[in-house]
A and B are shown apart, each in its own frame.
Chain A
Amino acid sequence: MGRVDGKVAFITGAARGQGRSHAMRLAEEGADIIAIDICEPVPSNNIPPATEEDLAETVRQVEALDRRIVATKADVRDFDALKAAVDAGVAELGRLDIVAANAGIAGMPAQAVDLPEDHWSTMIDINLSGVWRTAKATIPHLKAAGGGSIIITSSDAGLFAYPNLSHYVSAKHGLVGLMRTLALELAGDRIRVNSVHPTTVATEMVLNDTIYRLFRPDLENPTREDFASAAIAMNALPIPWVEPVDISNAVLWLASDESRYVTGVPLPVDAGAAVK
């Protein structure tokens, strides 16, 4: 018996990285999946975009687990497209119980004073407003199901600041406020709302030259190993980064009825970085 058997989960940013991992982990434990991803370039982002092939690979992996999946190319900045994808998924899979608001970008680092205005706007539009739109599009379906669980992906940058990432830090802090407000507004409908706060996760969003340079300004051409020594110093546990499945295990727990009375919690999966 799976830990989320018979439930349906909506996941944003599901083409790769943590989003794909959440889709897989929830499917392994019995959930059907509604997946979206922008699958195209985002201005001011630091890595190559997810592709439609990536999203198709998520579909393949979920179907290999004998679960159903409805995947759509959609941008969390486009409420109508987001809502259409959710509604179509619910029409096909019958219900909605779990929402993993995962889509986000890391952006290009710069001091706040130098940050281009469009970089700021794009970041807030995707990482903060995109989660609000995700909640707005899905809450009616969760209410119709008699309750549910919303898991918002914030970051350790939602609990403390990193210099040169003011747009990212602001968006991720904003998610904590959104999470707490939703937790209160939706408690009467038995909808729980919690956030997860990863430290460095071993995905392309973080393991790339832009981030290596940000954290190792002392080196001309820092490598993954050079970044690892900086990353390990940020954590309390003696590790440089966690794997996507570690975040997915937290999402799974918050999605399942095992946590039926847990709401309003910012859950760090951060090797102790936030309290260091």
Chain B
Amino acid sequence: MTGRVEGKVAFVTGAARGQGRSHAVRLAEEGADIIAVDLCGPVPGLQYSHATEEDLQETVRQVEALDRRIVARKADVRDRAAMKAAIDEGIAELGHLDIVVGNAGICILAPWDEVTPEVWDETISTNLTGIWNTVQLTAPHLIEAGGGSIILTSSAAGLKGLPFLTPYVASKFGVTGLTKAFAHELAKHNIRVNSLHPTGVDTPMGEMAGEYPRLLAGNERLAGMLTNSLPIDVTEPRDQSNAVLFLASDESRYITAMAMTVDAGNTQY
């Protein structure tokens, strides 16, 4: 049986672990080759462990175990030269580019008055400017391929002002807007651009959930904002990847500029 993205090549940022690895593996299961990047290093102020080069190697191993090809590079989405080199090397080896998954992001929890300028800059530059870099540097290759699909990972916090996340919410709302703006400019090239809005996902980023009791103790009424409508606490990375796969495949060939929630109803609640 033919895979749902057979013969396509996908670029995935933040691919060393978590949702990024899951996207790479799910797309590879359905026939895509992968170009993967990850920072693989520390981020100041992070409340969870950072990805490593070993993590990225594990993604490589898992994709290759599916008999798909992968070009993986250590690169920071804020570093345009490193990103461009990774993209160019990947396409030189794999031939073309059809799918872009802008997934790399960081999240630092803090009440509004404890956010430092460093945390603000770090979050905006990685989560928002990093996405802009990703799209601007890959879109020319999609145009060359005659079209493609770009999926940008925003968040439930890109539709709803979740508490203790001011820089994150700002960055993710930015991604929601950027998605729609790019969708229109790129539509004439048959390039679709959609955003993905997860609720909580069971990944290393979730290690910081232990911060919530302290934060909510100072503002208890906000706890309800974090509740999912479906009776679950977190989704699995694969749930997000199944949405990425659908948006990446030709099954969704006329879906563009949309905000796809995979949020157990969180943003509706």
- A-B pairs under 8 A by CB, number: 107
Chain A residues within 8 Å of B254, by CB: 199, 237, 239, 242, 246, 269-271
Q: Do the beta carbons of B246 and A253 come within 8 Å of each other?
A: yes
Q: Are A261 and B255 in contact (CB under 8 A)?
A: no
0/1 string, A237-275, CB within 8 A of B gives 1 = 111001000100110110000111111110111111011
Once the chains are docked, how many angstroms separate the CA of A120 from the CA of B239?
41
- Asked if A272 and B183 sit within 8 Å, CB to CB, the answer is yes
- Select from chain B the residue with minimum beta-carbon distance to A252: B251
Q: Give the dominant DSSP class at A's interface.
A: mixed
Q: How many residues of A contact B (CB 8 A)?
A: 35
Per-residue interface assignment for chain B, residues 253 to 269, with 1 indicating a CB less than 8 Å from any chain A CB and 0 otherwise: 11111101111110111
Minimum C-beta distance from A164 to chain B (A): 25
The answer on a CB contact under 8 Å between A190 and B258 is no
* Interface: A188 (CB within 8 A): yes
**B 229-269 to A, binary, CB cutoff 8 A, 1 in contact else 0:** 11110010001001101100001111111101111110111
Asked whether A246 lies within 8 Å of B187 as measured between CB atoms, the reply is: no
What residues of chain A lie closer than 8 Å to B190, measured between beta carbons? Answer: 237-238
How many residues of B sit at the interface, in one of the four size bands?
35 or more
Q: Does A236 count as interface, using CB distance less than 8 angstroms?
A: yes
Given contacts A188-B231, A192-B230, contact A263 B265 (CB under 8 A): yes
**List of A residues within 8 angstroms of B257 by Cβ:** 236, 268, 272, 274-275
Q: Does B214 contact A (CB under 8 A)?
A: no
B188 contacts A by Cβ under 8 Å: yes
Answer whether residue A183 sits at the interface, using C-beta atoms and an 8 A cutoff: yes
Measured between beta carbons, the chain A residues less than 8 angstroms from B50 are: none
B264 touches A180 (CB 8 A): no
18 A-B contact pairs sorted by A residue (CB < 8 Å) = A183-B265, A183-B268, A184-B229, A184-B269, A187-B264, A236-B187, A250-B252, A259-B246, A261-B263, A263-B229, A264-B261, A264-B267, A265-B260, A267-B255, A270-B254, A271-B187, A271-B256, A275-B257
